[in-house]
Structure 1
């Protein structure tokens, strides 16, 4: 008999709506609940949870967080005692207390915290080469209309009328300025040289019609470069949706056949 994988979703924005559709179409998966702050008309009542404290009484195989970075700090106590957690808001980990708190709770309860590569590629290779890496740089180019300026006072969308470098420095700083846009940069940094030694460069280009990311990594005897160019809606690129679904399936070992490691 085929095993059914139970999924809980935290949030119901574009990514979690897409994941709910993937789950509903796959008979090997079951959507156990969606945590939302207030009841929604576009979700069955029996699927909605509005009290975070209830989640510890509803264990699932994997809880996928797709809410917002500021919500992550309060999730560990509710989720990790009974379920594994996949964080899509990796930018939340720029706060060392949040990262350490989640790791401590997972260790205490024998659960796991997963960080998907999401929009970017090559995280597995960076993990493998971590001890030999000398530099890791990520350059992102997006239209200003696809950036969320709500968290920064240094720039606003209307001021960017031509191709402009908005940020250049450690990944930690970029994730603080644009926490909803660069969770994948946090994943690359944490997989390689860390949030302070991995560097990001953000270019805002009003003429850009896609989301372009270039990762460059170097070490003794090797140089790596990975380019990803994807259509984008809002702050989320189309590739990100299929990428996260793939990460979920790998975490739960939902696919048979060859295992790619």
Structure 2
């Protein structure tokens, strides 16, 4: 319906949630209105009742706790902590609805092209290499770049839940957590967070490199992430109004 304003509840008031809440409060997302904010331990029921869209900005554990209640109530759910979907049962549970699940692009781009490429036939190679400062990854300082872990995106996203939602996003775009090889590199000289994505298949060869500034409040996340969330909210509001 033209002129519809979607009512938004935000779960989590950390580095990502605080920015999202602030922009919504200032009316900077056309077609969207903030109606509730929730921290873990707060009552979720009132927020779900008041909202059309619940935005998860609180981490993988929180998503597993709140997600079923949101979709069971028929509310849409916008997910930031995509790494939680290494749990196939959780992903299947949320997709059953009746509420719809939407994903943010987070700190990377190119997912639409990867999704299209995967539809042309199985991709022969999908690799994502993430490089961050050692402290951000929770490891000891190194003398130079050091590969910390390599394996299927499912294992990497589970091992580094605060730092590798990007690996999960790539895996969901191509349709398989186990077909995507992920590498985590600790580099003391990394002033920016780097994600290099390489893929090849029947439709061609692809390479994307993203270099983001870390969030000042939470260096494990990128500064751009809350703005990706806001863009997703705006797009959902636009779709609801047409």
Instruction: After TM superposition, give the deviation of residue 239 of structure 1 in Å.
Output: 2.1
Instruction: After TM superposition, give the deviation of residue 167 of structure 1 in Å.
Output: 1.1
Report the 3-state secondary structure (helix = DSSP H, G, I; strand = E; otherwise coil) of the residue aligned with 2:232.
helix
1:171-250 → structure 2 map (5 Å cutoff): 171-233=153-215, 234-250=219-235
Distance in 2 between the 1:194 and 1:186 partners?
9
Matched, 1:33 2:36: yes
Structure 2 match to 1:75: 66
1:133-167: CA deviations, max 9, x gaps? 222111111111222x3xxxxxxx22534311011
Matched, 1:253 2:238: yes
Distance in 2 between the 1:120 and 1:255 partners?
25
Report the 3-state secondary structure (helix = DSSP H, G, I; strand = E; otherwise coil) of the residue aligned with 1:232.
coil
Q: Which structure 2 segments of 5+ residues have no match? A: none
Matched, 1:125 2:125: no
Report the 3-state secondary structure (helix = DSSP H, G, I; strand = E; otherwise coil) of the residue aligned with 1:118.
coil
1:10-62: CA deviations, max 9, x gaps? 11111111111221222643111111135xxxxxxxxxxx113334432x231
| TM-score, scaled to structure 2 | 0.88
Distance in 2 between the 1:245 and 1:56 partners?
19
Q: Structure with the greater relative contact order (CA < 8 A, sep ≥ 6): 1 or 2?
A: 2
CA contact 1:65–1:89 (8 Å) conserved in 2: yes
CA contact 2:156–2:164 (8 Å) conserved in 1: yes
Structure 2 match to 1:21: 22
Q: Which structure 1 segments of 5+ residues have no match? A: 39-49, 150-156, 257-261
1:45-194 → structure 2 map (5 Å cutoff): 50-58=42-50, 60-80=51-71, 81-104=73-96, 106=97, 109=98, 111-131=99-119, 132=121, 133-147=123-137, 149=138, 157-158=139-140, 160-194=142-176
Instruction: After TM superposition, give the deviation of residue 168 of structure 1 in Å.
Output: 1.1
Distance in 1 between the 2:144 and 2:198 partners?
25
